[in-house]
Amino acid sequence: MSRIGKQPIEVPGKVKVEIQGVKVTVTGPKGTLARDIRPEIALEQDDGRILVKARDNSQRTRAFTGLTRTLINNMVIGVEKGFQKKLVVEGVGYRVEAKGKSLNLSVGYSNPVEFALPEGVAVGVEKNVVTLEAIDKELVGQTAARIRDVRKPEPYKGKGIRYENEHIVKKAGKSKSK
């Protein structure tokens, strides 16, 4: 069994977890998340903790215990606190503004790019920083990656859309030959 899969999941008092066969539903102050788990994985709930167990001893099943534990833990954290991802828009004339359930990105193309946000993702824009918030970690990360794909940061001037903690290694430009 994986080292991560052996660790119990601590369930806070204000979060409720329901396990019905292969369906896990987590309800908390921020909302409800549901996920189907693999049938080879068993979940045991006792005294504010959830334990993830493998039903057989195959290497594949033992590998899925760590994944399942992490997914359920992210659901518990999401409905209690939520997840947040920040993107920075850098470049001369590059702007971003939120309009309802969409983002209007002016990032160097001839026309602005209209990016529709998925259901459940809240957005905040402050100057050139876009903040995405949701209870589903997977949804926040995927949405941030799709926004970043609109204009990836380029290595010469660093213009584009990057994650807040991402470091762009800059390249030297052309050098004049003698």
Domain for residue 34, yes or no? Answer: yes
Range of the domain at 27: 3-80
Give me the mean pLDDT over the 10-27 stretch: 93
**The pLDDT value given to residue 173:** 83
Residues 6+ apart with CB under 8 A from 24: 17, 18, 34, 35, 36, 37, 43, 72, 75
Domain for residue 101, yes or no? Answer: yes
Domain for residue 152, yes or no? Answer: yes
Domain count, the chain: 2
- Whole-angstrom Cα Rg for the chain: 21
Report how far residue 116's alpha carbon sits from residue 103's, in angstroms, rounded to the nearest whole number: 6
Query: Over the stretch 88-132, which tens digit does the pLDDT of each residue have?
Result: 999 999 999 999 899 999 999 999 999 999 999 999 999 999 999
CATH code for the domain in which residue 45 is found = 3.90.930.12
Residue 82: which pLDDT band, with cuts at 50, 70 and 90?
very high
Domain for residue 168, yes or no? Answer: no
Domain for residue 56, yes or no? Answer: yes
Report how far residue 149's alpha carbon sits from residue 31's, in angstroms, rounded to the nearest whole number: 29
Last residue of a domain, one of 80, 113, 145: 80
64-103: burial string, b at 16+ Cβ within 10 Å, e else: bbbbbbbbbbbbbbbbbebbebbbbbbbeebebeeeeeeb
Question: What pTM does this model have?
Answer: 0.88
Query: Is the predicted pLDDT of residue 40 greater than 70, yes or no?
Result: yes
